[in-house]
Structure 1
């Protein structure tokens, strides 16, 4: 698949996000109607939304995009084959609406589908890609969300063909549209992740963001408890994909849903803090005119938005999980370190995070800023945190001199953590032990916090832990964008099965791993 991809990009001019990050240097922020209203969209809703985003300070905070989702179309194309907007829903037309948005300071985005029909049953773009792209351009559209319903045959190769066609067409426009791809969502949550990862391999080459998994739960259709669960499901998919993200391309865990009455304020704030820690798109789906002061306050938190919009675009990764607390961290462009802690438990609880787990030097004093309160304090050694159920703390740590990528190494299929023993490793349930928190040196050695002088190495029996020697190729590991962790001496891949080392396969479930943010990722080609 990789060789075919290289051939495609050799023929057509490269203008995908990772090759030209200036197309979308930071994750998009704005509004989309779908999760809140689904097909209940019309001209008045969008005009009211735009006015409310201005008056409530959302535009000033950076939410400068307004996107129409499915069901804006007529059921038939025009005689010349072009798409038509529903004149009952949009009496002044989409050109007028786009100009209205731009007059208020917003960018205009729209929805279409790569298949024969949209998810709502309206005309799809298949066979009309060039005409539809030029139509959108003529209407003043600047952003395209391309869904993946009604694609036949529904295999990975067919999706790549359709999305690569759109990449080529958008690249040829005078003003290329930002391209939001939904293809990965159609391959997630299966018994085998290989096709999902195959799709994830090419979406960063075609567009600026990709909706990688299930839709966030739409308004009012589910029992109350389902909505927090939906946030956690999409969060769970996001943490598997950090290796793909880089400036110009963003993993998209779907919409921010601030006015859902079935979420507590702590849960809503957690949703926002976690997505911002991921440098994920912040696209709100809500009835903006009725947002409460408390909801607007957290959505416009400048310090947390700055984390989301950080120039490194690094996705926070897991330091540890124990069933109650998830601890995540990443580096920021000015050298600061982010610490985010989620209480997944159903009760108020406390935890302590040592400075070593954040990837920082011991015996040093740092300044830590609570991004919810704005309060700053000096600390060294560890941070003690108490959180309400489903609440999230988010801190920015400054006066950092050096960082070593630190956190879990876990299999993305089984979710088992690599756990150090005296002389080797096992894969076990994640329980936040020091033996499950790994430091990854710049030379590629892997050391557990429980035994920092020992490094993982290839051996006659697979892998073992020995005294660290960064000059030994058997102790150096290379992390590939496919998720493979490759030993430099043997060129074999780490795997979660007997021997823990084997011939590298095509993104096999037992060979795909998540590593800490900041680890060098090798991109391009296959292992």
Structure 2
């Protein structure tokens, strides 16, 4: 990674409003266990002690899974006379302070669940109006992590959620030791006809906490009550599909959360389970297992403790992989890794085994660099040498190949390369040989793969000598020969997802009939929120 790109990452942390405390609290995505997907309200003390013992004996703790989190239904139905929450003594006969110490003595941390509203999603007392006393209570019990759900709020406006979650941020940061703050607020605004509120919530959650649930629960036994005919694979693909829209928000200290690894769900094939883990690792997402861990199979433990993939998830840069291309069968993702390496992830959405080749130009490596690179298959651990392309061979149906590319001499110099897509319509920005541009369904052609170099230009792989050019309000955005002195060809991208012309200040817009225009920037409107390769860059 070049010094300039490293500096841009540092600037992003400052831009996003992240505090120094956030960096200290969660420099890497959390790894551990949560009971919800397998037990729901049937959690108890024995479940957690047995799970901790199993995590040690199976090697999960050694691999990095070092926390256990209680979910909903742990308290009594009424608060104590002094207003504090009370654990259910039948479920937790020794009490939660005892359980926290039990975990700490064995090298684990204990997390807890509450709700920002009047009641939890399961109907237990919520924390609205009790924020200070609940935070102090959790801290006094030895808890270091709070998952805050968003059911039963006073009202469902984005403004209210921001006020309540912002208050929690202030309360938690005043504790002698601030708690890690997992926010569920974005999930309550996803999938709307107008995504402006979802984007707005995503703007502020990185300022308040260290991770945020952005969409639905991964599939649990009763999901079909509200989501008919759903399969486990559909659930994984849905949450993955939401996550790839949000790469611009992620950086060290804040992580987008696509929900649990529900490893033992009976609906998954082994290839789908491995893909679930590989994709979440590529995204540097939280790796929170929600399964009955004492009964995990050796095969499941094997992939969950793959140290090469865990290293990708825990990479110090904290970047989320972004889409290079997508055609309905193959998804290709890539990202920078610490030390100058490059990740390449190849997902086979198809229903049969097949192979797929990714040219170096697709992952941002210049064709002029013909020296061999070392490629490691992160499933097999095998090394090979490549010079101009990477082939994922015999990827099983719903399987995922993952590679780590290293230079034998110097760090790999990358031009961010991949899809530019509207995060509402999911249409891809598309160039043509005649110089026109449009928005079209993604097909993985060169016309839909773009370079975004540090000079602020945007270039299609169809012809990298030509640049995206602004021609003024409501006029078509076109492709013309690159001229480094032409301000019409310099674009600025921000965490709001707007790609703004440096000349006119107008925003790239998906117009009617899929036309590409520059129009006045609105407030995170459906037509103007764009995902770029490489996530966020501050030009």
TM-score (norm 2): 0.92
Q: Distance in 2 between matches of 1:262 and 1:472?
A: 55
Q: Distance in 2 between matches of 1:293 and 1:20?
A: 36
* TM-fit CA distance, 1:347: 1.5
* TM-fit CA distance, 1:20: 3.7
- Choose the corresponding residue for 1:434, options 430, 443, 446: 446
Q: Match for residue 415 of structure 1?
A: 426
Contact map agreement 1:413 1:510 (CA 8 A) in 2: yes
1:483 aligns with 2:497: yes
Q: Distance in 2 between matches of 1:65 and 1:517?
A: 30
What are the ranges of 5 or more consecutive residues in structure 2 without an aligned counterpart? 1-15
Q: Distance in 2 between matches of 1:134 and 1:66?
A: 20
Contact map agreement 1:416 1:427 (CA 8 A) in 2: yes
Q: Match for residue 525 of structure 2?
A: 508
Q: Match for residue 437 of structure 2?
A: 425
* TM-fit CA distance, 1:226: 1.2
Q: Match for residue 7 of structure 2?
A: none
Q: Distance in 1 between matches of 2:56 and 2:67?
A: 12
* TM-fit CA distance, 1:519: 4.8
* TM-fit CA distance, 1:219: 3.8
Q: Match for residue 181 of structure 1?
A: 183
1:318 aligns with 2:323: yes
1:283 aligns with 2:283: no
Deviates more, 1:371-380 or 1:360-369: 360-369
- Choose the corresponding residue for 2:236, options 231, 235, 250: 231
Q: Distance in 2 between matches of 1:314 and 1:345?
A: 27
SS at match of 2:48: helix
1:152 aligns with 2:159: no
Q: Distance in 1 between matches of 2:70 and 2:129?
A: 22
* TM-fit CA distance, 1:18: 7.1
* TM-fit CA distance, 1:350: 2.0
- Choose the corresponding residue for 1:389, options 378, 397, 402: 397
Q: Distance in 1 between matches of 2:340 and 2:262?
A: 31
Q: Match for residue 482 of structure 2?
A: 468
Q: Match for residue 383 of structure 2?
A: 376
* TM-fit CA distance, 1:328: 0.2
Q: Distance in 2 between matches of 1:473 and 1:256?
A: 47
Contact map agreement 1:371 1:394 (CA 8 A) in 2: yes
Contact map agreement 2:357 2:389 (CA 8 A) in 1: yes
Contact map agreement 1:17 1:207 (CA 8 A) in 2: no
Q: Distance in 1 between matches of 2:444 and 2:235?
A: 24
SS at match of 1:495: strand
Contact map agreement 2:236 2:276 (CA 8 A) in 1: yes
- Choose the corresponding residue for 2:268, options 231, 250, 263: 263
Q: Match for residue 117 of structure 2?
A: 115
- 1:459-486 residue CA offsets vs partner (Å, 9 max, x unmatched): 1533111111233221111111010000
- Choose the corresponding residue for 1:349, options 350, 354, 367: 354
SS at match of 2:340: coil
SS at match of 2:215: coil
1:364 aligns with 2:371: yes
Root-mean-square deviation (CA, aligned residues, Å) is 1.5
Q: Match for residue 333 of structure 1?
A: 338
* TM-fit CA distance, 1:364: 3.0
Q: Distance in 1 between matches of 2:527 and 2:17?
A: 34
Judged with a 3 Å threshold, the aligned counterparts in structure 2 of structure 1 residues 203 and 409 are, in CA distance, closer, same or farther, namely same
Judged with a 3 Å threshold, the aligned counterparts in structure 2 of structure 1 residues 16 and 443 are, in CA distance, closer, same or farther, namely closer
Deviates more, 1:392-401 or 1:112-121: 392-401
Q: Distance in 2 between matches of 1:288 and 1:70?
A: 19
Judged with a 3 Å threshold, the aligned counterparts in structure 2 of structure 1 residues 214 and 17 are, in CA distance, closer, same or farther, namely farther
Q: Distance in 2 between matches of 1:219 and 1:373?
A: 33
Q: Distance in 2 between matches of 1:220 and 1:518?
A: 35
Judged with a 3 Å threshold, the aligned counterparts in structure 2 of structure 1 residues 15 and 508 are, in CA distance, closer, same or farther, namely closer
Q: Distance in 1 between matches of 2:40 and 2:478?
A: 53
- 1:321-360 residue CA offsets vs partner (Å, 9 max, x unmatched): 0000000000001110000000011111222110110111
Q: Distance in 2 between matches of 1:379 and 1:361?
A: 14
Judged with a 3 Å threshold, the aligned counterparts in structure 2 of structure 1 residues 321 and 45 are, in CA distance, closer, same or farther, namely same
SS at match of 1:95: helix
Contact map agreement 1:16 1:208 (CA 8 A) in 2: no
Contact map agreement 1:314 1:330 (CA 8 A) in 2: yes
- 1:357-387 residue CA offsets vs partner (Å, 9 max, x unmatched): 0111222321110000000100122122231
- Choose the corresponding residue for 1:404, options 399, 410, 415: 415
Contact map agreement 1:243 1:521 (CA 8 A) in 2: no
Contact map agreement 1:238 1:251 (CA 8 A) in 2: yes
Q: Distance in 2 between matches of 1:352 and 1:23?
A: 40
